Amino acid sequence: MTTSSQVSLLGRRAALALGLTVLLSACGFHLRGSNGSFMLPFATMYIDLPDTSPLAIGLKRYIRAIGGTEVVGTKDGADAVLEVLSDPERNRTKTILSLNPSGRVQEYQLGYSINFRVVDKAGNQLLAPTTISLVRPITFDESQVLAKETEEAALYRDMRNDLVQQIMRRLAAIKPVLPAMSVAPVAPVTPVAPAAPQQ
């Protein structure tokens, strides 16, 4: 296979991957739950990230969209506090994955990870420190630097969206220490109703 046909094939694969991501978001892909979303087991929540953090914006948008939990601006009085121990925007990585026969970079591996925990207003740990790490490979072509930078940014966005989904799944599975909560949860704790037995 010639170099030009390899580049063409890799370009088609990248376009297909991006197309599938767009289709999944456009067709209304959601987390599983009684109404297509997970419900959180607390009435108020504080997210310990800067307001300008893309991850914080994504989490707050998702939580507000599913309803039942209010995102508050301070830790005081919040039923749950998501404490970020390691900010993913500062922990993005880009390492060489492979070289071509000439010794030039052929493929990179992008990394995106977060370490966080959740506590309630009394300081009880609802979720122990948890690390979520994601990686994505990306090919490199010196003749298409701008296109590759755009693809790289898209892959980081994809990983950030994946991170939001995974964090939400872990939040929904928390069993809170109820006496420490000031308000009963508005939404059901169990996100998925058991399926009825088939006849």
* Whether pTM exceeds 0.85: no
55 within 8 A of 89, measured Cβ to Cβ: yes
CA separation (Å) from 139 to 92, 98, 110? 17, 9, 11
pLDDT the model gives residue 178: 54
Whole-angstrom distance, CA of residue 110 vs CA of residue 140: 12
pLDDT the model gives residue 39: 82
CA separation (Å) from 196 to 34, 38, 193, 199? 14, 20, 9, 9
- DSSP letter at 1 equals -
CA angle (93 as vertex; 89, 98 as ends), nearest 5? 155
Whole-angstrom distance, CA of residue 100 vs CA of residue 139: 11
Phi and psi at residue 129, to the nearest 5°:
-50, 125
pLDDT under 50 in the chain at which residues?
A: 3-7, 10, 20-36, 180, 182-194, 197, 199
